[in-house]
Structure 1
């Protein structure tokens, strides 16, 4: 009986110890699970924070992309405006250049027309002198010289004016016309002829010494001219 009681008591004690052991294991497992859960929560929080940062970066990237797109659009607009301004400026310069060239061409044409008209006027006046219409020739030649003081043909007009005055025996005005060539256009092709004309007028006025001086001046100054040979022969008659 006592032995039976002892066995029963041992069994209860063993069972109690086993229960206590199982509780400790369970508590440890719960503690481990709680720690794992805490770690998982921490990691989850870290991932969520990382995701938030990533989303923030993605948002910034998208915002930057939009800003870049806007800037690109502004650049394209500015480039277009610049191209248009450059084209307008080029068109303006082209138009101005065309206008200037047209004006220059018109001026040249007007100048050519004026020169042609002047030449025709001079030719007509010279024709009058050659045909013996000396009064008309003098009037026409005077008009030419007055209207065209800077024309290169003025010495030619002066010569033929002197020629007509000489024919009219108006030696004073003839000498003035010839002297204009000798003094103002000594390199003109008709300068030797003008000097000879002065000699003719001086001789006609009875001033042989002055006439001789003009002839000698002609020979000395224009020795290669045709009039120089004529002057040499004329010297005989004014001695």
Structure 2
């Protein structure tokens, strides 16, 4: 399908979903968080069912988290976990949701997210498991 002519504000170049994802990720890597936010949103709007969509959703959350925009970060991480529960970033999304909720002083909700992470992803990557232990302690989860 041809691109919509009425979208001059677009940040994503034409290309394959992978090329477009890589473009958005480069903006993130350059710490251009507002541009990366826009690019990941556009990627998700255009390629929401692509295998990279779960990763894009996670990195969208990161663009908010690093700017301490915790409400949209929490929403993005929750969407990443719920929308892509089998995706490679599902456990990371749940971890970051807990960290965001902790930053928002929503400790009970954060501890619930950490509990869900431990229950649902017993074979999560080592870095996620280590962060889970650290973050649970930081939030004083029981």
Same fold (TM over 0.5): yes
Task: Indicate if the aligned counterparts of 1:218 and 1:228 stay in contact, CA closer than 8 A.
Answer: no
Q: Equivalent of 2:28, from 120, 129, 133?
A: 129
Number of the residue aligned with 2:134: 233
Partner Cα separation in structure 2 for residue 233 and residue 184 of structure 1: 26
Q: Equivalent of 1:211, from 110, 113, 120?
A: 110
Task: Indicate if the aligned counterparts of 1:174 and 1:201 stay in contact, CA closer than 8 A.
Answer: yes
Task: Indicate if the aligned counterparts of 2:74 and 2:100 stay in contact, CA closer than 8 A.
Answer: yes
Number of the residue aligned with 1:139: 38
Question: Considering only CA atoms, is the larger Rg found in Structure 1 or Structure 2?
Answer: 1
- Structure 1 stretches of 4+ with a deviation exceeding 3 A read none
Cα offset for 1:150? Answer: 2.1
- Aligned-residue RMSD, C-alpha: 1.3
Superposed, which structure 2 residues align to 1:3-42 within 5 Å?
none
Number of the residue aligned with 1:61: none
Stretches of structure 1 lacking an aligned partner (at least 5 in a row): 1-115
Q: Is residue 2:93 matched to residue 1:194?
A: yes
Cα offset for 1:228? Answer: 2.3
Q: Deviations over 1:184-209 (max 9, x none)?
A: 22111110100011011101111112
Q: TM-score, normalised by structure 2?
A: 0.81
Number of the residue aligned with 1:120: 19
* Aligned-partner SS, 2:16: helix
Q: Deviations over 1:42-76 (max 9, x none)?
A: xxxxxxxxxxxxxxxxxxxxxxxxxxxxxxxxxxx
Q: Equivalent of 1:158, from 38, 57, 65?
A: 57
Q: TM-score, normalised by structure 1?
A: 0.50
Task: Indicate if the aligned counterparts of 1:222 and 1:228 stay in contact, CA closer than 8 A.
Answer: no
Partner Cα separation in structure 2 for residue 164 and residue 174 of structure 1: 8
Partner Cα separation in structure 2 for residue 167 and residue 137 of structure 1: 12
Task: Indicate if the aligned counterparts of 1:199 and 1:210 stay in contact, CA closer than 8 A.
Answer: yes
Stretches of structure 2 lacking an aligned partner (at least 5 in a row): 1-14
Higher helix fraction (1 or 2): 1
Number of the residue aligned with 2:73: 174
Partner Cα separation in structure 1 for residue 49 and residue 85 of structure 2: 16
Point out which structure has higher relative CO (alpha carbons under 8 A, 6+ apart): 2
